Every structure is written in C-alpha cells, then in structure tokens.
Amino acid sequence: MTVVALVLAVAVTALTGHTWVNAGHWLRRPVDGPVEVGETVAVLLPLRDEADRVTPCLRALLAQQGVPGLRIVVLDDGSTDGTAEVVRAVAGDDPRVTLRTGVTPPPGWLGKPYACHQLAGHTDPAATVLAFVDADVVLTPYAVAAAVTELRAARATLLSAYPRILVRTVGDRLVQPLLQWLWLTFLPLPAMERSARPSLAAAGGQFLLVDRAGYDRAGGHAAVADRVLEDIELARAVKRSGGRIALADGSRLAACRMYETWPQLRDGYTKSLWATFGHPGAATAVVAALLLLYTAPPLLAVAALAAGSAPVAGLALLGYAAGVAGRVRSAHATGGRAWPDALAHPVSVVVLGWLTLRSYHLRKRRRLSWRGRPVS
C-alpha cells in the first residue's frame, strides 16, 4: 500500500507541476486594455432558440471598440421562440448588423457546423478575420480587437480564447472547471502550437477567431460538417492545411454562462463526450486513469487511517492535496472559482466519469440529441 500511495502522490504532483508551468509560462493572455486593429473583422453569431440570453451578447458586440471595420452577421437557425425579433429590437438600424435566416441542414451536416458554414458564406468578402461567438458569451469592450491582435502576434491561423466560465449551481461548480483544468494539466501547450500533428489540438467554439484565408484553405466548416466537436475538428483541419493554432486565456475578455440548469449541463456534456474520447476503449482507459489518480488518494487515506497506517495515509493525503492544488492553479489562471470547490475535485472526476459513461450509453442507443436535432 505504501508503494501505491507513493506512486500516486508522485504522479499527481508531477501533473500539477505541469499545470503550474502551463498556466504561468505558456498560456497566452491577450491584453484587456485599449487596442485598435485596422482589419475588417466579421463577428459571426449562430442562434437557435436564444431569445432569453442573446440580448447581453449582442449589446456587448455592438459596444465593441477598436475595430472600425466591425461587421456582425447573425443567423437565426430555425428558432421558434422569437429570437429573430429580439435581435431586431436590440440591433435596431445599426448598419453593422446583418440578420440572416438559416435553412435546415442537408444530409451529412450537423446543426452547429452548418449554421457556421452559412454565416461564413454571408460574410463581407473584405473581412480578413472571422470571429465565431456563442450566444451565451458576453465580451468586454476591447475583446475583439485584443483577440485579433493576439491572433496576429501568435502568427496563428486560429486562436481559441477561452472565456471565464460563470458558475452558480452545484453542478456547474463540479463540472465546468474541468474544461480548463484538463487542457492545462494534460496538454503540452508549446508543443501544440509548434506541432503540425492534427491530433495535438484543442479549441473552444465560444470565442474562436480564424484568419479568413486560412479558414478557406482548411475547407471551412464544410470540412467538419458531421462533427459534434466542430471547434476542435476545425482546429485539426487548420493544422492539416498547414496552419497554426493557439490557445489563450480569454477570461479578461469574455464571460460565459454555458448552462442554466443541471439537465442542460448534463445533456450538453452527454452529447459530446463520446466524440472527445473516440473509441470506448480509449475512454475507459482515460476515465480509469483519472479516477485512480484523483479519486483513489482520498479513499486510500481514509482506509489507511482506519487501519492505523499513518505513513500510507500521509502519502495518500499528499496526492489528494496535489490534485486540489492543480485545480486551484487552473482556477486562478482562468478566472474561475477556486475555494472551496477545488476540495471536491475527486467528486468532479467521478461525475465526469458518469457523464462519459452516459454519453456512450445513449449514443449506442441512438438517443443523443441537442436543441431538438440528433447528433449521432
């Protein structure tokens, strides 16, 4: 037992060290102050039944500064809740805003990729940068200008600026911080930017910028037409076409409340986790490793204390503390909530494992859907 506890403590400490290095040295952080860009930038906003939350997003887009050539293209993707009317009321007669009505995805296309494909097709040809923004994202006044500046400074074709994730419910606080923690802990950021390997890619679609010429070269969203994780697959397509990608901490530029309720969060993760891991065997291996590294140490500590083995308990508690420290560092680096949420990190990993199992279970039975459309 002593050897097991020691190995776990060393492994988790090493991974937490990687989190600290990524967060402190390799994570790009765009400036959040006044900056101006001379390029024409098209902000593309796909909407499907977003009447309840599009207003703050659109108002923030209209308030953008430092982008004289700003264009905003909105696509109403088959909404039934009056989303288009809300957009018209907020935008008024602002000439920067164009509202389009989407059409049903043709065979072979999923809803989100086809909405983005339509948006790109409706964009002013003069736009040299496309910025895809989700309806649950609220940008700060210089967010677009700062992100474009970082895209060019990184000499990247695609830049994913992860927003600050707003959490309110217990489910939020358990699950949402794992998004940033996973890639800060396990993804070698410098290698990801330098490597041409498409498999070494990460991206988030909430606030994603792409060079227009590079987007076209990669095949645009037509290259990821049937992909559930269209953001990551677009990053891979960019790499396959010879482009570079970069990740950035966008917590000072954007905030995002992804899900309002536990059922929404549960179903949102369920629809896509199977695509994250691919083969069920790979998913099993990854989840088993996460459970062993981050859930076993506190359980082992309790068992060792009950058996009167203080050395084993101490090593196991060290492993648990290292895992908590990684969560805390990730939260501080990305504008998230650290305390006391990080103390429940083992529970978060268990919930992630359950969501992954649920995702494969429902996919096998062809019962996965999102916003009324099948996704598998």
DSSP letters, 97-117, are EEEEE--PPPTT--HHHHHHH
Kindly tell me if the per-residue pLDDT of 94 is higher than 90: yes
Look over the chain and give the mean of its residue pLDDT values, rounded to a whole number: 93
pLDDT band at 32 (very low <50, low <70, confident <90, very high): confident
pLDDT band at 363 (very low <50, low <70, confident <90, very high): confident
Gyration radius of the chain's alpha carbons: 21
Residue 183 belongs to what H/E stretch? helix 178-186
What proportion of the chain, given as a percentage, has pLDDT over 70? 99
Task: Tell me what the mean pLDDT of segment 42-60 comes to.
Answer: 96
Pick the CATH number of 28-259 from 3.40.50.300, 3.30.420.10, 3.90.550.10, 1.10.260.40: 3.90.550.10
Task: Tell me what the mean pLDDT of segment 348-363 comes to.
Answer: 94
**Spans of all domains in the chain:** 1-23+269-374, 28-259
Instruction: Say if CB 238 and CB 200 are below 8 A apart.
Output: no
Instruction: Say if CB 163 and CB 206 are below 8 A apart.
Output: yes
Distance in angstroms (rounded) separating the CA atoms of residues 210 and 135: 18
Of how many residues is the chain composed?
Answer: 376
Distance in angstroms (rounded) separating the CA atoms of residues 326 and 292: 16
- Tell me the residue ranges of DSSP E strands in the chain: 40-47, 69-76, 97-101, 129-133, 137-139, 158-165, 207-211, 245-256, 369-370, 373-374
pLDDT value at residue 236? 96
pLDDT value at residue 181? 96
Task: Tell me what the mean pLDDT of segment 262-288 comes to.
Answer: 90
From residue 334, alpha-carbon distances to 16, 27, 137, 163, 292 in Å are 15, 10, 15, 8, 26
